[in-house]
Chain A
Amino acid sequence: MDTKVKKMPKNFDALDKKMDRVFKKPFYSMTAIVIGLFVGVIIIAIMGANSGVFLASIVRGSFGSLPFFGTFIANMTWLGLAGLAFGVAYKVKQFNIGLVSQMIFGGIFAYWLGFYNNMGPIGFVVMIFVGGLVGSAVALLIGVLKTRLKVNEVITSIMMNWIALRFMQWFTDRNAFNPKADFTHVSGDAEFTKNIWQGKGGYQNAMNYGLERAGLGAFNWLIIVFVLAAIILGFVYKFSTWGQKTKIISNSPKVAKVTGINSEKTILQSYAISGLLAGFAGVALYLGVENGAFPQDAQAVPTKGFQGIGVSLIAFNNPFAVILVGGFIGMLESSTQAVGSQMPKESVQIVVALIIIISTTIVFFLNVDWGHKFSLYREQRKVKMHKRFGEEIPSLGNRISIYSKKTREKINKKIKRGGDK
């Protein structure tokens, strides 16, 4: 080759890689979401529902009116917090599906505390933190069982979910321990408890007025906690020693052992943070969205928590991206309020489940150099044909015309270096 090649800038490769790193994952996420939505809409259409209504309601349900927008914010809060909770554990390769149980326990204990105690204007802050701490304790139980007794965390957390479900049924059962039945006997300010029950907090002021107009309550201040937590976690994982430790533990446990990282401690810390965030998510869901109405006759673990897993996975476990993806799944989740009775609620779940499955495979598809693969296939076929007709297999230099341009350049380089024939 005697054509003069224009000299590239020195750092071009590094820049290229950086651009790749910055733009690749958002592209994957978008592709997964688009394909998942597309397949989901097709499935919904096959079953005879009007998928146009569904698509329109995704936008209308979130931005159609102020109360709708309020619900969207509320949904985004718990989904995002749950996504962060799952992601923190997943950073050290721990699969915390138990976040559902942590949400339930956190929500129930926060509710219980607020219902039986009059704590004045800061009551809701105390409730939020109690919810978080309870969630953290449940997650630590799973973590201790995993690190000390080597019990598979998936099994423990699935069982934990069912224990939490039974606990919730016990909590809401009329025969055992029914807060609803005792509503009039509660000591303290009845108005406050009533407001807590409705998720509005115990007081009126100018700050809450805007929130309440959008149909939101005190517990939806958690949106600030969520955004702050996402940003802090993003920087922690990127720049701190602790973040690097988690990276090493998940990528190569052997290296972690050799370099003297206390991986047990880091894993337990991750579980604690994960549980804390899941507890917050539980408070945001059961007190902020459902207004303290725990499903009384639930036969299965509420699937709402599992959508948090979806948020984390679609965001490729990047805390910053969780904010955006949480918003998107929040839109899907609040679409049901615009549809009304035309469409079953499960249409959202179908789409989210499909997006989860597709987001796991999309990385593989988009990493493949299809042109290269195709040219390899063509080469193999050509060699086969030559063999069949007993001809001499041409050397690589003569076969070169069948390759794509990119591969041809690669081979030329190889020949220059005097490598393969």
Chain B
Amino acid sequence: MTDFLPILVSFIIVFSLLSMGATSGIWSEKSGIINIAINGGFIFGAFLYSIVNSNKGFVDSVGPFAIYVGALLAFIGGGLFSILLAVPAINFKADQVVVGTGINMLATAISIFVVSFVFKEASLKIYQPTTGKMIIASAGATTFTGHHLILLLITFIVCGVTWFAFKKTSFGLRIKTAGENPKSLEEMGVSVKKIRYQSIIISGAIAGLGGMAAILYTNNDFNGNVLGMGFVALAIMIMGRRKIGGSMLFAAAFAVIFAVIKHYLPQDSGFKHIINMIPFISPIAVLALAKLFKYEINDPASLGKTYEKGER
């Protein structure tokens, strides 16, 4: 079991990335807004995170706290970025899938534009200080570092808070009602639009935080994409029936697939491209088999519909 640790490290990175993405999707879709823009949120979060952490002077002066600063910036920035989805989707009757696609394009374009034009580089590399208490980990790291522990901790906190919010608080219940039957929520005297705004901003913030894991997945090197993990997270959220437990379970299963592919299957032959298709074929297979095995996946009743006050 000499090479158990690298597999564990890959597992943790992919697991936290996917479960944070799925959690982000749950917040948004439970409130009735389709969120295709998880990938865009990842990219934007990773972009902000890597801006902070690729700055040599800043990382040297602050030390390991640069990680927290980056994560906080990604969290806030992701939340603000998601307003771009919220405004057209909630107020202006826009097609939510279309807006999401536009946002995904915009996140990639803006981040590459800034990296290549403002920073004049091909990609933003995370600066790793040689001295300091904490070694910043990468996906290829062979040692289990504090960074991974923090990442796992953040993931569990995010998932736990989400579970608590949806199961135990009235706020969660309101979000679920906004997705299922917004009219009854309005009749109770709660503003549907306000609830949807809140949940989408939380969703975007979590996606931004997921960018922190995404940067580890792309080997501490940001060049404007996260290898489509946002879309895999979206599929995982749907497979997990938009529930936190199911999503985490599927995220773990996919993390195992990713880790095994990375470490056990040959990476040097041309065959690797076919192997790398597996993570993208399997969601389709699972969703196709779900119907046959009577694993029902029901969308929230008013998913994708803009609610207007006073409509019947």
Give A residues with C-beta under 8 Å from B: 43-44, 47-49, 95, 97, 145, 149-152, 154-156, 158-163, 166-167, 169-170, 173-177, 299-301, 303, 306, 309-310, 313, 343-344, 346-347, 349-350, 352-354, 356-357, 360-361, 363-365
Contacts and interface: CB of A to CB of B under 8 A. Distances in A.
Contacts of A364: 91-94
Given A177-B270, A313-B98, A344-B113, A166 B92 contact: no
Interface string B97-133: 1110111111011101110111000000000000000
B114 A47 contact: yes
A155 B112 contact: no
Contacts of B281: 159, 163
Contacts of A299: 223, 225, 227
Contact of B103 (A145, A160, A357): A357
Contact of A357 (B93, B102, B277): B102
A48 B238 CA distance: 41
Given A309-B98, A357-B106, 6 more contacts: A154-B97, A159-B231, A300-B228, A303-B109, A309-B101, A357-B84
A43 B110 contact: yes
B108 A300 contact: yes
Nearest to A364: B92
B102 A156 contact: no
A313 B97 CA distance: 12
Contacts of A349: 105-106, 108-109
A356 B94 CA distance: 11
A218 B271 CA distance: 34
Say what secondary structure dominates the interface of chain B: helix
Contacts of B291: 149-151
Contacts of A166: 273-274, 276-277, 280
Interface string B230-252: 01001100100000000000000
A63 B105 CA distance: 27
B283 interface: yes
A154 B101 CA distance: 11
17 contacts: A151-B291, A152-B287, A154-B36, A158-B228, A166-B273, A166-B277, A167-B273, A300-B225, A346-B109, A350-B109, A350-B110, A353-B102, A354-B102, A356-B99, A357-B99, A360-B95, A364-B94
B88 interface: yes
Contact of B117 (A49, A161, A357): A49
A162 B225 CA distance: 13
Contacts of A159: 231, 235, 280-281, 283-284
Interface string B60-74: 000000000000000
B234 A158 contact: yes
A173 B270 CA distance: 6
B2 interface: no
B1 interface: no
B92 to A, nearest CB: 4
Contact of B280 (A145, A162, A173): A162
Contacts of B227: 299-300
Contacts of A360: 88, 92, 94-95, 98-99, 102
A115 to B, nearest CB: 18
B98 A356 contact: yes
B288 interface: yes
A357 B101 CA distance: 9
Nearest to B292: A149
B130 to A, nearest CB: 28
A176 B270 contact: yes
Given A176-B269, A313-B98, A303 B105 contact: yes
B135 to A, nearest CB: 26
Contact of A356 (B102, B280, B283, B287): B102
- Nearest 5 Cβ contacts at the A-B interface: A176-B270, A349-B109, A360-B94, A170-B273, A175-B270
Nearest to A145: B288
B88 A169 contact: no
